[in-house]
């Protein structure tokens, strides 16, 4: 009898396995992981409409919709996984294709309540980012998919995706370089840096920040296909995301601004004074950034930013701001790269920084050819792992977004080749 029972169990298991491979079993496996489609899926080959038909409750596929939804997840371990979806249909039935590269399976939805439908086995061949494509083959129903279901040993260790804060997860990780200023250098008055955005890396939604300091930041943006900006901002000492809440004695004061520069206030990520100039800077061209910070002796500090355009071989003033309740020279020198448009988080972008120098209050120049890498909370909690930075020849670089594999360790330090000769700047003739 025991032998017969064992044979029966083996026979049933074999039937289940065959059914699973055919995409016929709805609830045979218990999902070890459910990946929310609302924060981890994108519409591909659809221009800027990468979140079309993806809402707070997941993917919606209407009858006849031909676009492909791509769900990203990161697996450190290789091996076999079982993939499926948690979804349902409204008024009818639908057949979907699930594909990881050349591996393809189908599932058929007829259920009107959310159900896990397993497509079958897939192989993770290489560690890093994986992508599952979901598309409608045929059917007459509207489909809703709340999650991608995953089972198998690779999910048990080093398996990552965005679990919360989907807005930041879609924007992707911000990456930073902190420049290492020698301890012997005091009273940093000027900070000089150069940016080159490689051709093809000037993706819409990118902020290539060159001269960051303890109280603000200065760099270039890609705002749209028709607009680019030079941006310089200084935070108020009063901490709030609403500029209207800043007391009068803690507001940033605009002292002067350059031709064509807009000035005002900003909020949402701290608040303060902002300036920007619309300027169609070009990929592949190296631009210069100069920042000055000097205390005024009355518990206020003046910060001034200039931009160098090599095509006209001249400096232009962006703006000069006075920050109250502040008595400091330049500190916390850094650069960063971020994507500020959530729909653009599927595109990678890269920037090169080189020729960093500081000048102290006595006029002494010091080259900064060492930097340390870091990233924001989105990276640190493993919502996104597409972040990198490093050194190549006489440049540092930063790269983020696009779901590439090959992240850089937090705290990693780099040394670029020294230039040995500081730029020729006549500070007294600056506009």
What's residue 29's pLDDT? 65
The H-or-E segment that residue 289 falls in is strand 286-295
d(CA 141, CA 93): 5
Helix/strand/coil for 8:
helix
Of 23-32, 125-134, 142-151, which range is least confident?
Answer: 23-32
pLDDT 10s digits, 304-332: 999 999 999 999 999 999 999 999 999 99
Q: Residue 258 pLDDT > 90, yes or no?
A: yes
Task: Examine the domain organization and report whether 69 and 131 are in the same domain.
Answer: yes
- pLDDT band at 16; cut points 50, 70, 90: very low
Closest CA relative to residue 317, chosen from 290, 337, 296: 290
> Given this model, what pLDDT does residue 267 score?
65
- Residues 351, 326, single domain; the answer is yes
pLDDT at 424 over 90: yes
> With b meaning 16 or more CB within 10 Å and e meaning fewer, what string describes 251-290?
bbebeebbeebebebbeeeebbbbbbbebebeeeeebbbb
Over the stretch 201-219, which tens digit does the pLDDT of each residue have? 999 999 999 999 999 999 9
Task: State which residues form the domain around 9.
Answer: 2-161
What was the pLDDT predicted at 241?
84
- Rounded alpha-carbon distances, angstroms, from residue 123 to 145, 211, 212, 303, 404: 22, 45, 44, 55, 19
pLDDT bucket at 63, cuts 50 / 70 / 90: confident
When pLDDT is averaged across residues 91-108 and rounded to a whole number, the result is: 96
Domain CATH number, residue 338 = 2.60.120
270 pLDDT more than 70: no
What are the φ and ψ backbone dihedral angles of 155, each rounded to 5 degrees?
-80, -10
> Which residue(s) pair with 74 in the sheet?
129, 160
Q: Does residue 167 belong to any structural domain of this protein?
A: no
Instruction: Name the phi and psi angles at 250, rounded to 5.
Output: -120, 15
Domain contains 41: yes
Answer yes or no: do 326 and 401 share one domain. Answer: yes
Instruction: Judge contact between 68 and 51, C-beta under 8 A.
Output: no
Question: Rounded to 5 degrees, what are φ and ψ at 310?
Answer: -65, -20
What percent of the chain has a predicted confidence (pLDDT) above 90?
87
The predicted structure's pLDDT at residue 26: 42
Give which of 371, 333, 372, 307 is closest to 215, Cα–Cα. Answer: 333
pLDDT tier at 23 (50, 70, 90 boundaries)? very low
Mean pLDDT of 349-370: 98
Q: What CA–CA distance (Å, rounded) separates 104 from 97?
A: 7
The tokens for 23 are 């995409």
Predicted confidence at residue 25, as pLDDT, reads: 41
Which of 174, 182, 175 is CA-nearest to residue 370? 182
Indicate whether 45 pLDDT > 50.
yes
List, for residues 66-91, the tens digit of each pLDDT value. 999 999 999 999 999 999 999 999 98
Is the confidence at residue 177, as pLDDT, over 50?
yes
CATH of the domain at 106: 2.60.120.260
| pLDDT above 80 (res 268) | no
Average confidence (pLDDT) over 185-198: 98
Q: Which of 132, 161, 190 is the last residue of a domain?
A: 161
C-alpha gyration radius of the chain: 27
Q: Which residues contact 351 (CB under 8 A, 6 or more apart)?
A: 195, 196, 197, 198, 201, 206, 208, 337, 397, 398, 399
Q: Please say which residue of 135, 161, 187 terminates a domain.
A: 161
10: three-class secondary structure by DSSP? helix
CA dihedral 325, 328, 333, 334 (to 10 degrees): 0
Mean of all residue pLDDT scores within the chain = 92
Task: Specify whether 138 is located in the same domain as 177.
Answer: no
Q: What are phi and psi of 18, to 5 degrees?
A: -65, -40
CB 79 within 8 A of CB 162: no
Residue 80 lies in a domain: yes
Which residue blocks in 99-185 are alpha helix, DSSP H?
Answer: 166-171
Tell me what percent of the residues of the chain surpass a pLDDT of 70. 92
Q: Kindly state whether residue 188 falls inside one of the protein's structural domains.
A: yes
* Predicted local confidence at residue 220, as pLDDT: 98
Lowest mean pLDDT among 12-21, 147-156, 166-175: 12-21
Distance CA 62, CA 35 (A): 21
Q: Do 27 and 152 belong to one domain? A: yes
Contact 230, 277 (CB under 8 A): yes
Question: Looking at residues 137-152, what average pLDDT do you find?
Answer: 95
Asked whether 335 and 176 are in contact (CB, 8 A), the reply is yes
* pLDDT average, residue stretch 341-348: 97
Domain end call among 141, 161, 181: 161
166, part of any domain: no
Tokens found for residue 90? 């409204």
Is residue 80 located within the same domain as residue 207?
A: no
| Residues 233 and 128 occupy one common structural domain | no
Shared-domain flag, residues 68 and 186: no
Structural domain includes residue 305: yes
Domain count, the chain: 2
Q: Give the pLDDT band (50/70/90) at residue 7.
A: very low
Q: How far apart are alpha carbons 382 and 386 in whole angstroms? A: 10
pLDDT attached to residue 244:
86
pLDDT 10s digits, 285-310 = 999 999 999 999 999 999 999 999 99
First-residue to last-residue Cα distance in the chain:
96
Q: How confident is the model at residue 240 (pLDDT cuts 50, 70, 90)?
A: confident
Cα separation values, 120 from 29, 54, 59, 145, 235, Å: 10, 24, 21, 17, 53
Do 125 and 211 lie in one domain? The reply is no
pLDDT at position 272: 85
Reported confidence tier of residue 30, pLDDT bands at 50, 70, 90: confident
Claim to verify: residue 358 and residue 255 sit in the same structural domain? yes
Tell me: pLDDT of 17 over 80: no
Task: Return the pLDDT at 9.
Answer: 40
Q: Supply the pTM of this predicted model.
A: 0.90
* Judgement on whether residues 390 and 249 belong to the same structural domain of the protein: yes
Q: How many CA atoms lie within 13 A of 349 on its CB side?
A: 30
Confidence band of 100 (pLDDT split at 50, 70, 90): very high
pLDDT of 41 higher than 90:
yes
Comparison of pLDDT for 397 and 24, the residue scoring more: 397
Q: Could you tell me whether strands 58-61 and 159-160 are parallel, antiparallel, or unpaired per DSSP bridges? A: unpaired
Co-location of 140 and 191 in the same domain: no
- Rounded Cα gap, residues 170 and 358, in angstroms: 36
Residue 242 has a pLDDT of: 85
Helices (H) and strands (E) in the chain, counts: 4, 30
Assign residue 381 a region (left: φ > 0; alpha: ψ between -120 and 50; beta: otherwise): alpha
């Amino acid at each position: 009898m025991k032998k017969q029972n064992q044979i029966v169990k083996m026979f049933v298991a074999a039937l289940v396995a065959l059914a699973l491979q055919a995409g016929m079993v709805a609830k045979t496996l218990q999902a070890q992981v459910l990946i929310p489609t609302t924060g981890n899926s994108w519409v591909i080959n659809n221009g800027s409409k990468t979140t079309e038909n993806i809402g707070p409750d997941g993917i919606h596929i209407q009858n006849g919709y031909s676009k492909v939804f791509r769900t990203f997840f990161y697996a450190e371990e290789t091996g076999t996984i079982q993939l499926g979806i948690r979804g349902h249909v409204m008024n009818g039935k639908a057949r979907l294709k699930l594909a990881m590269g050349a591996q393809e399976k189908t599932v058929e939805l007829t259920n009107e309540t959310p159900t896990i439908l397993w497509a079958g086995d897939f192989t993770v061949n290489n560690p890093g980012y994986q992508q599952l494509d979901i598309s409608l083959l045929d059917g007459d129903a509207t489909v809703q998919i709340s999650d991608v279901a995953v089972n198998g040993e690779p999910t048990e260790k080093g398996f990552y995706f965005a679990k919360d804060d989907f807005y930041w997860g879609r924007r992707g990780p911000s990456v930073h370089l902190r420049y290492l200023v020698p301890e012997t250098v005091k009273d940093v008055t000027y900070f000089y840096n150069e940016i080159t955005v490689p051709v093809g890396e000037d993706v819409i939604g990118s902020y290539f920040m060159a001269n960051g300091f303890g109280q603000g930041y200065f760099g270039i943006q890609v705002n749209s296909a028709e607009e680019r900006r030079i941006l310089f901002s200084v935070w108020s000492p009063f901490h709030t995301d609403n500029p209207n809440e800043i007391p009068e004695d803690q507001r940033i004061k605009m002292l002067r601004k350059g031709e064509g520069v807009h000035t005002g206030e900003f909020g949402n990520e701290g608040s303060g004074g902002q300036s920007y100039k619309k300027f169609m800077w070009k990929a592949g061209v190296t631009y210069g950034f100069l920042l000055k910070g000097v205390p005024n002796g009355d518990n206020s500090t003046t910060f001034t930013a200039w931009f160098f355009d090599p095509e006209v071989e001249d400096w232009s003033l962006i703006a000069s701001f006075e920050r109250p309740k502040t008595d400091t020279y330049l500190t916390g020198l850094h650069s960063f790269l971020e994507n500020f448009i959530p729909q653009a988080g599927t595109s990678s972008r890269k920037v090169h920084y080189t020729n960093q120098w500081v000048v102290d209050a006595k006029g002494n120049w010091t080259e900064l050819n060492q930097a340390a890498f870091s990233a924001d909370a989105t990276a640190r909690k493993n919502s996104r792992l597409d972040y990198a930075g490093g050194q190549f020849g006489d440049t540092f670089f930063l790269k983020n977004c696009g779901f590439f594999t090959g992240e850089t360790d937090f705290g990693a330090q780099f040394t670029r080749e020294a230039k040995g000769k500081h730029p020729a700047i006549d500070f007294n003739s600056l506009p």
